[in-house]
Amino acid sequence: MVTELATFRVRAGQEDAFYRSYLAARPHLAQFPGCESATIYRVYETPSTFVLCAEWRTLEDHLEGFRTSDAYAEWRKLLSPFFDGDPSVVHLVNP
């Protein structure tokens, strides 16, 4: 299991619109083969920052599967208009 942590900085004043777009985009991610779960959090101290926590069976399911798919293109199309800079993504594994 691999955990993806993606941090999104959202343009100020667009947080609610971003979250609504995330809800519309979520099925493209959550229903993709290899994605076990996907949850987004809003950072309390910096409310224009959101963190997505997605569980993948393998790193390849995320990088070679989802990231190269039409589902990712649609997901990105729905969310990217709200980004304030590029998202930051790291992958975690349990040692």
C-alpha distances in angstroms, 9 versus 18, 50, 58, 91?
Answer: 10, 7, 26, 18
List the domains of the chain with CATH numbers: 2-93 (3.30.70.100)
C-alpha distances in angstroms, 91 versus 43, 61, 63, 69, 88?
Answer: 19, 12, 10, 19, 10
- Average pLDDT over the chain, rounded to whole? 97
Q: What is the mean pLDDT of residues 1-7?
A: 98
pTM value? Answer: 0.94
Of the chain, the percentage scoring pLDDT greater than 70 comes to: 100
Of the chain, the percentage scoring pLDDT greater than 90 comes to: 98
Among 95, 76, 82, residue whose Cα is nearest residue 28: 76
pLDDT for the residue numbered 95: 84
